[in-house]
Amino acid sequence: MLNRRHIRIKVMQTLYAMQQSNSEQIQSGEKFLINSIENIQDLYLLMITTLVEIRKKEVEYISLAQKKHLATAAERNPSKRFIENRVLDLLESSTSISNKIEEKKITTWQVHDNYIQMLLDEVKESTFFKAYMAKSEVTFEDDRQFVCDIFTEVIAPNEKIYEFLEDSKLTWLDDIPVVNTMIQKQLRKLKERDVQFIVPKVYKDSEDQEFAINLYRKTILNFAELTKEFEDKTPNWDPERIAELDTIVLRMAICEFLKFSSIPVKVTINEYLEIAKEYSTAKSSIFINGVLDNISKAYNDENRLNKIGKGLL
C-alpha cells in the first residue's frame, strides 16, 4: 500500500514531531512511527467499507418502505439493481475485509451512520445513479463503473468525510490521498471472475518495513554527525536561518547517502526534492537540491559513497 516516498514522509513527520516537543525518547518515537504507518490500514478499511455500508443503508430503506401502510407500487416492488450490484456483493462477502474489521474492532460507521446516510443521499441524487438505474440491462463492467463512480465522485471528494477522518486521527491527513488512490486502482482492476477482494498489505515487502525503521533509527542516532555534515558543506548559510523541516530533510538524505548502500544517489535526491516541494517553503527545494548535489559530489570525490551495484552513484 505504501511506497518508499510515503515511508520517508512518515519518518520525516516523526522526527519533526520529536524535535518540536524536544523529545529524546527514541523508543516512543519509533512506536509513534510504527503506529502512524500501520494505522493507514485502518483508514483503508474505513474508506472501502463506506461502499458496503451505503449498500446496507439502502437495503434498510427498501425494507422499511415496503412495510409502509400506504406504500406506493414503486415502494412495494422497488428496483434492486443497486443492492444487487456484483461489485458491492464482492466487497460485502470479502473475508479479507471482514476479518480485518473484526481484528481491529472497527465500528466507526455503525456509531456515525449519519455520514453513511449523507453519502447515500448524494449517490441517489447523482446523474450516474439515475443513468445506471435506467439501463435495461447491466453488465459486470456497468456494475464496476457504478461503484467506481460512487467512490471517486461521492466518497473521496466529500469534505465532511475528510474533516471527520482528520479529526479522528491527525496522522491520516496525508494518508487519505494515498488510500483513495489505492482503492480506486483496486476497483478498476476487478474482474467478473474474481472471487475475493483482498485488503492490501501496509508494506510492499519486508525490505520496506525494515527501511522505515532503519531510516528513523539511523537518522536520529546519528543526529549530531549528520547535522555537522550539512553545516560543514554550507559555510555561507546561518544554520538558524535554515527552516527546521529542511534540516530534517537534509539529515535524512545524507543518512541515505552514507548508510543505505543499495539506494541510488539520484533516487535519494529526487525523493527529498519532491518531499520538500510538498511540505516546506517555496525556496526549500532549490536550496536542498543545491546542498545535496554539492554534498553528493564531495562524497563521491572523497570515496565516501559506499554504494553497491551499478548505476547507484
How much is the pLDDT for 20?
87
Report pLDDT for 167: 94
| Per-residue pLDDT tens over the stretch 21-61 | 877 789 999 999 999 999 999 999 999 999 999 999 999 98
CA 72/CA 312 separation, integer angstroms: 71
Distance, in Å, from the CA atom of 42 to the CA atom of 101, rounded to the nearest integer, reads 8
Q: Do residues 215 and 14 make contact, with C-beta atoms less than 8 angstroms apart? A: no
Res. 310: pLDDT tops 50: no
d(CA 114, CA 227): 50
- Report pLDDT for 84: 96
Is the separation of the CB atoms in 63 and 127 below 8 Å?
no
Tell me: pLDDT of 151 over 90: yes
Q: pLDDT-based confidence at 62, cuts 50/70/90?
A: confident
Q: State residue 232's pLDDT score.
A: 84
Residue partners of 184: CB distance under 8 A and separation at least 6: 148, 151, 152, 156
pLDDT tens profile 274-288: 999 999 887 888 999
pLDDT at 58 (0 to 100): 95
All structural domains of the chain with their residue ranges: 39-189, 222-301
Closest CA to 253 of 233, 273, 232, 268: 268
Out of 1.10.940.10, 3.30.413.10, 3.40.50.300, 3.40.50.1370, which CATH number does the structure's domain 222-301 have? 1.10.940.10
Nearest CA-CA partner of 12 in 274, 248, 280, 265: 248
Q: pLDDT tens digits, residue range 205-234?
A: 999 999 999 999 999 999 999 999 988 877
Find the range with the poorest average confidence among 5-19, 109-123, 195-209, 235-249: 235-249
Q: What integer is the mean pLDDT of 147-153?
A: 99
Q: Which residue type is seen at 221?
A: L
